[in-house]
Amino acid sequence: MDTKSIKSKYDMKFKVIAWILCIAAGCLISFSAIRLVKYDPAGTMTSSKYIESAEYLSMMQSYTASVEHAFYGYSDSAKQQELQNYISGLRDSYSGEIGMVLGSTELEGDYDAYLNELQGALSAKVSEREAASAAAQGETVAGTDQGQPDPVSAETVIADAGLPALDEYMLKQLDSINEKYAELLVDAEAHIDEQYELLERQAQENLKNNRNYYYAVVADGRTIYTNVPQNSGDPIAAIQELEGNREYRWNGVENGLYKEAGALNAEITRTAYEEAYGSEPESLTGASIYTGMSDSFYEKSRQEYDISYRGYLTTIILLVVWIVLFAGGFAWLIYTAGRSPKEDGVRVTFLDAIWLDIGGIILLVIEIFLGALFASEFRSADMAVSALRILRLSACTAVSVTLLLLWSMSVSRRVKRRENYTLCEAVFGGFRTVWKRSGAKAKGVGAVLWYLVGGILLCLITVLFGFLMGGTGVFIGIVFLAIYLAAVLKYVLQKAAAVRGIAEGVQRIKDGEFGYQITKGGGQEFDEIAAGIEHIAEGFDTAVTREVKSERMKTELITNVSHDIKTPLTSILTYVDLLKKEGLDSPNAPRYLEVLDMKSRRLKYLTDDLFEAAKASSGDMSVSLSRLDLVEFMEQVMGEMSDKTEASGLSFVVAGQKTGMYVYADGKLLFRVIGNVIDNAIKYAAAHSRVYIDFEEKDGEACIIVKNVSREPLNMSEEELMERFKRGDESRHTEGSGLGLSIARNFMELMKGKFRIEIDGDLFKVIICFPAENAQEEE
């Protein structure tokens, strides 16, 4: 595919389209979800047929349960439970009102005593009222005095209890409260009976007047209760012939909804039977309830269900379409996140600087908040929502989808960049790094860990001994703990001493005592640190020595260069001045010119040597390697330098070599190397001595060895002789720049060869080596 077409898919217009698609689809998904809930709030639309749906079954079961409750739900046990709840509520209300009255004054901690005495007075008043009611009805209550009882007042019970007296107004309030609640408690049972009777009568009346449903309660084959019209014949047959019941069979055979009421209170069923027929049944095992929906209400409900079901199904289909569109736009945004047609890399935004887990938590909190706002609007919304409510719901959804898309795209960009920028990674990853760097397997760190683990285990053992063995266990645990603490103290002090020793050693070394030995004994880790510091000190000492030597050499270099340049320059200036004074016609002029020529050449050679030494040491020289015969090349050099060697008064003895020694070298540079070595021998060899030139092939190397006896004592090392401006004649009486051997060594390094010198007493040896090549190879 063309690169241009590949990058065009990252164009901003496609991203904008995907954003709009996702936000619009998100809003439509939320509206579709609202419509689904409004269409089917109880989740009862389970079939395309109303008779087979959970909605029809739920409505019929609810109606049947209401019939059962209306005729059998108000039992004595239920009344007793309700009575107990009612009395308990009265007593709580009584305590609250008494507390409000007593709370208006200072009781000095006697509140509970007042409340107990007043409750006793209330019980006495209840007994008085019950006795009076029984006397009025001509009944006798066992254990009660048939005379008129003395009235019980708040003032009397408080005085009898020896509690501080209250003011008259407060006493009247307390008596009034006792009177009110005594009356309510005495009438509590009658009140509950009245309430139950009213509820039962209302429930049964509502069932009789409701013509949308029909019911029949049957006991021993006879109908006890029903709202089926009398002209309809048998109520059970009429209910079973209803349109809904003809289509729905409760047991696969019989029409209609049937409920076995045999588990109901048999006495209630017997009473209902006696009320209906005026006689007691011979045998009674319970009652059966038959219910059904009227034909008109069933048809109306069925039509409404069909309309709702079609809308419900259409909404589901649209919801799937909106979800697919949202998924497509979401996938496109995730795929193109961070990509741009103008750049090849993944672009970074401000969201990518937020920790992934922290940002996710913040997003979750915001989404929960927006979800709560949406749910609040949703609960208050109806099917015909207003434009303002639609706007609020759309705003919540749009903001929620936008935040979700922004964060998802940030996650996508991080995945593409293979980043794990999370707070957990920063914390635990750093801990993991520190753990690895700490060397937990090392002796020192491992000992610390074992001390910690051992201390925790020891504390646990101490606690366990204390529980299991009492005082003895605690004592043993304390002993173990003391031993552990002593060991820990010793270990910590040992480590502290080691740290102190290392700190002192660092200070001494910092002050210049590079040979200071740090005290050891703090463990393997600390001993290794101490040894490392000592090695660093040794390195510092060596570096300082080398630097001092380097500074000394620089001083000597400047001195030597100044001396070597100043000497010919002074001669040149002197003889020029003489020529100016005596003129060119002077008989001394030829000698003066000869000296000027010699000194100027000397200055030129010195300048050339300095230039070549600088170029050789910097590596800024072109090297052209070619295959040479080392023996033949040495003969050519000696031939070209024959005038100089013959004038030197030295005897040059070249060893005979029958076979050639082939190497790869630059002929020009090698000529200069051998020439410098020969010049060095001419300058510093003992007068009328011999200079030996040998050839050697060993360990894959082809070497030239030049040996001579020095005229002056060689009281310096080989390395010192290789330094620049270093001369065997320390008094510097001989001609030379002191650069010859240094230049030769640099040239050999450029040609990948080796150049070294050896000193044995006054014997001076120069060795020049190259990697040997096959003698049979054609040039």
* pLDDT per residue as tens digits for the range 452-471: 666 667 666 666 666 666 66
pLDDT above 50 for 727: no
- Determine the pLDDT at residue 732: 42
Strand order in the sheet with 288-293: 222-226, 213-219, 288-293, 257-260
pLDDT above 50 for 297: yes
Correct CATH for 479-519+531-620 of 1.10.287.130, 3.30.200.20, 3.40.50.1700, 3.30.1330.200? 1.10.287.130
Q: Are the folds of 479-519+531-620 and 622-771 the same?
A: no
Classify residue 617 by burial, with Cβ atoms within 10 Å: 0-12, 13-18, 19+. middle
Contact 360, 436 (CB under 8 A): no
The third-level CATH classification (topology) of the domain covering 622-771 is Heat Shock Protein 90 (3.30.565)
Question: Phi, psi (5° rounding) for residue 213?
Answer: -135, 155
pLDDT above 50 for 440: no
Lowest mean pLDDT among 81-95, 137-151, 597-611, 697-711: 137-151
- Determine the pLDDT at residue 566: 66
- Determine the pLDDT at residue 262: 41
pLDDT band at 251 (very low <50, low <70, confident <90, very high): low
Segment 501-523, tens digit of pLDDT: 888 888 887 787 777 887 777 66
Contact 23, 15 (CB under 8 A): no
Q: Which two tokens stand for residue 476?
A: 């043993």
- Determine the pLDDT at residue 515: 77
User: Residue 351's closest CA among 364, 341, 360?
Assistant: 360
Give the bridge partners for 214, in sequence order: 292
- Determine the pLDDT at residue 147: 45
- Determine the pLDDT at residue 54: 83
Amino acid at 655: A
Q: CA 258 to CA 287: how far, in whole Å?
A: 11
Mean pLDDT of the chain: 75
pLDDT above 90 for 661: no
- Pick 779 or 369 by higher pLDDT: 369
Give the bridge partners for 764, in sequence order: 708, 759
3-state secondary structure 570-610: HHHHHHHHHHHHHCCCCCCHHHHHHHHHHHHHHHHHHHHHH
Q: CA 259 to CA 262: how far, in whole Å?
A: 9
Mean pLDDT, residues 221-246: 83
Mean pLDDT, residues 687-693: 90
- Determine the pLDDT at residue 590: 80
Q: Which two tokens stand for residue 513?
A: 């005592």
Contacting residues for 23 by C-beta, under 8 A, at least 6 apart = 397, 398, 401, 402
Taking residue 692's Cβ as centre, other Cβ atoms within 10 Å add up to 16
Classify residue 702 by burial, with Cβ atoms within 10 Å: 0-12, 13-18, 19+. buried
Residue 690 DSSP SS3: strand
Contact 323, 30 (CB under 8 A): no
Amino acid at 749: E
User: Residue 98's closest CA among 158, 160, 170?
Assistant: 170
User: Residue 258's closest CA among 248, 269, 250, 266?
Assistant: 250
- Determine the pLDDT at residue 378: 66
Contact 773, 663 (CB under 8 A): yes
For the chain, state the CA radius of gyration.
59
Q: CA 768 to CA 744: how far, in whole Å?
A: 9
Where helices occur in 221-294 by DSSP H, the ranges are 235-240, 243-247, 266-277
pLDDT band at 570 (very low <50, low <70, confident <90, very high): confident
Segment 138-155, tens digit of pLDDT: 654 444 444 444 456 777
- Determine the pLDDT at residue 692: 92
Contact 662, 773 (CB under 8 A): yes
Classify residue 23 by burial, with Cβ atoms within 10 Å: 0-12, 13-18, 19+. buried
453 conformational bin, left if phi > 0, alpha if psi -120 to 50, beta if neither = alpha
Q: Which two tokens stand for residue 346?
A: 């993944």
| Cα 579 to chain centroid, rounded | 91
Mean pLDDT, residues 707-733: 65
Q: CA 342 to CA 525: how far, in whole Å?
A: 55
Contact 188, 83 (CB under 8 A): yes
Mean pLDDT, residues 756-779: 79
Classify residue 144 by burial, with Cβ atoms within 10 Å: 0-12, 13-18, 19+. middle
- Determine the pLDDT at residue 450: 62
Segment 486-506, tens digit of pLDDT: 777 677 777 777 778 888 888
Question: Phi, psi (5° rounding) for residue 723?
Answer: -75, 160
Q: CA 706 to CA 690: how far, in whole Å?
A: 11
Q: CA 142 to CA 729: how far, in whole Å?
A: 149
pLDDT band at 671 (very low <50, low <70, confident <90, very high): confident
Segment 307-355, tens digit of pLDDT: 888 888 888 899 899 999 999 988 888 888 877 766 667 777 777 778 7
pLDDT above 80 for 386: no
Residue 343 DSSP SS3: strand
Sole residue written with tokens 């107004």:
169
State the DSSP code for 710: B
- Pick 516 or 737 by higher pLDDT: 516
Lowest mean pLDDT among 186-200, 235-249, 560-574, 756-770: 560-574
- Pick 75 or 62 by higher pLDDT: 62
Contacting residues for 413 by C-beta, under 8 A, at least 6 apart = 337, 338, 346, 347, 348, 349, 352
Residue ranges of domains in the chain = 3-39+305-416, 76-192, 211-293, 479-519+531-620, 622-771
pLDDT above 70 for 539: yes
Residue 584 DSSP SS3: coil
Q: CA 230 to CA 215: how far, in whole Å?
A: 13
pLDDT above 70 for 617: no
- Determine the pLDDT at residue 412: 84
Mean pLDDT, residues 765-769: 91
Q: CA 448 to CA 452: how far, in whole Å?
A: 6
- Determine the pLDDT at residue 480: 67
Using alpha carbons, list the distances in angstroms from residue 452 to 305, 449, 659, 741. 73, 5, 78, 67
Mean pLDDT, residues 542-550: 74
pLDDT above 50 for 261: no
- Determine the pLDDT at residue 148: 46
Q: CA 195 to CA 189: how far, in whole Å?
A: 10
Using alpha carbons, list the distances in angstroms from residue 380 to 311, 400, 741. 21, 20, 102
User: Residue 514's closest CA among 496, 532, 536, 529?
Assistant: 536
pLDDT above 70 for 609: no
- Pick 681 or 747 by higher pLDDT: 681
Q: Which two tokens stand for residue 246?
A: 């003809």
- Determine the pLDDT at residue 221: 74
pLDDT above 80 for 361: yes
Contact 249, 255 (CB under 8 A): yes
